[in-house]
Structure 1
Amino acid sequence: MAFSKEIPPYIFEHNNSGIEIDIITAALAHKGHTLKPVYFPLGRIPYAFSNKLVDAVMGDIGVNLKSQGGFYAKAAVIYDNVFITLKSSAISLKKPTDFDLLSVVSFQGAEKRYPKWLKKVKEQDRFYGVSDQLTQVKLLYFGRYDVVLSDRYIFRFFAKKLKLMHGLDVQEVVEHKLTIDKPMDYRPVFRDKNIRDDFNFGLNKVKESGEFERIYSKYISL
């Protein structure tokens, strides 16, 4: 199954762990399946599926994979994406025109998922999509970009890491919740319908047993 490269606390590539990997592993295990993660830059995940390099992907990254033989499952996790600015910049984000003249850095494909906010930014070359989450945080704190669109837990993880790496007095930030993330945007895609069904069954069991919450709690405190 194709996953993005390192996205703590959801994906730790070095030891095949994290919130998303642990939940998908547990869900598949209910019907005897073993997860074997393969890592790609986020934007290459649909390519990996379309070219049959993998049997499944963590999500379609804005590319409809039904035409490529994909069967969509229930979402294992939903990223809590927010627009983040430095408090010192005093930027107010409430409507699309508030992004005029601002530069935005986010994950690859974000402009497809949030066209209301990012379409114009992308068209005017003020958007930078990069899968390296630490780079996103650096670009904000070092003043290269005005806004980061990121999952709040991912951003906090890397802000702490940046502080430890560079001894920075990390500035306060403001989270602007302008998006409502939909489960359908984060559905894993399987090539085999039966395995998709097995995954959905297992995911329900993981949630019913309380294991879902235990996995989240294990990583959110990091």
Structure 2
Amino acid sequence: MNPASRLLRPAALALASAIAAQAGAATVSMAFGDNLPPYILVREDAGIEVEIVREALAWRGHALQARYLPMGRIPPSFKARQVDAIMMDVGEDMTPHGGYYGAPPVVYDNVFYTLKSRRLVIRKPQDLVGRSVMSFVGAANRYPVWLAGLSRNDYVENNHQEVQPQLLALGRYEVVLSDRSVFRYYARSKPGFVMPAVDEHSVIQADPNDYRPVFRDAAIRDDFNAGLAHLHKSGRYRAIYDKYLKD
């Protein structure tokens, strides 16, 4: 073998590997929530969550086709085979419906918010009884110990989390359950609105299993997991977070 051939051989092998990987590439339609800055930005087809999933799939050649739906429609869209994957199951096990769970691309840090001026203490589920509580869709399924026992008059789930800071400030609700980054984003996104001082009651233990994507194809799930591991190892995962959260 001449020297030129020796030089070309590694490049040829790399190209062959890339072609082989691309041969199994697919366009993956995945249902996400219909706007949850900074994790999901529908108009920009971007956000922390969307970018991480897109780049993890792309690691082995797959292309993401994001579809944005209200949270309550995400599980039905998978069961009806309208999408190839969903970002999370909203508290409903998708395994009986042909779902393969992947590793969590993000973990939401959900806390209870109250106005500091109210001096409320939340340490146990009983502390919410009789309080007006607002949360996101699917929260009672995620945290039944805390929320399932609240009366319908006191508890509401709303798909539009952008109203949470304002309604808390106005006293429409005494308690709001939200992810820290989501709440902070909305608290400072409305021109002229100044969020009063709040207390954060961090009493819910984050469970990564609550935020796992579900795929219909086990091989694509495996490719996604490999891509996500690469994002963590390479530092790209942290860079995506910093892009959206650094002031």
TM bucket (normalised to shorter chain) is over 0.9
1:180 aligns with 2:205: yes
The alignment covers a number of residue pairs equal to 218
Following superposition, the deviation at residue 124 of structure 1 comes to: 4.2
Gaps of 5+ in 1: none
- CA distance in 2 between partners of 1:80 and 1:144 (Å): 23
1:204 aligns with 2:229: yes
Q: Percent identity?
A: 46
Following superposition, the deviation at residue 221 of structure 1 comes to: 1.8
1:131 aligns with 2:159: yes
Q: Which residue of 1 aligns with 2:172?
A: 144
TM-score (norm 2): 0.86
Following superposition, the deviation at residue 169 of structure 1 comes to: 3.0
1:89 aligns with 2:114: no
Following superposition, the deviation at residue 96 of structure 1 comes to: 1.2
2:108 to 79, 95, 98: 79
After superposing on structure 2, the runs of 4+ consecutive aligned residues of structure 1 that deviate more than 3 Å are none
- CA distance in 1 between partners of 2:114 and 2:246 (Å): 23
Alpha carbons 2:187, 2:194 under 8 Å: kept: no
Q: Which residue of 2 aligns with 1:3?
A: 32
Tell me which structure has the larger Cα radius of gyration. Answer: 2
The RMSD of aligned alpha carbons is: 1.0
- CA distance in 2 between partners of 1:174 and 1:81 (Å): 13
Gaps of 5+ in 2: 1-29
Q: Which residue of 2 aligns with 1:111?
A: 140
TM-score (norm 1): 0.96
Higher relative contact order (CA 8 A, sep 6+): 1
Name the SS for the 1:35 alignment partner: strand
Matches within 5 A, 1:17-28: 17-28=46-57
Q: Which residue of 1 aligns with 2:19?
A: none
- CA distance in 1 between partners of 2:111 and 2:40 (Å): 19
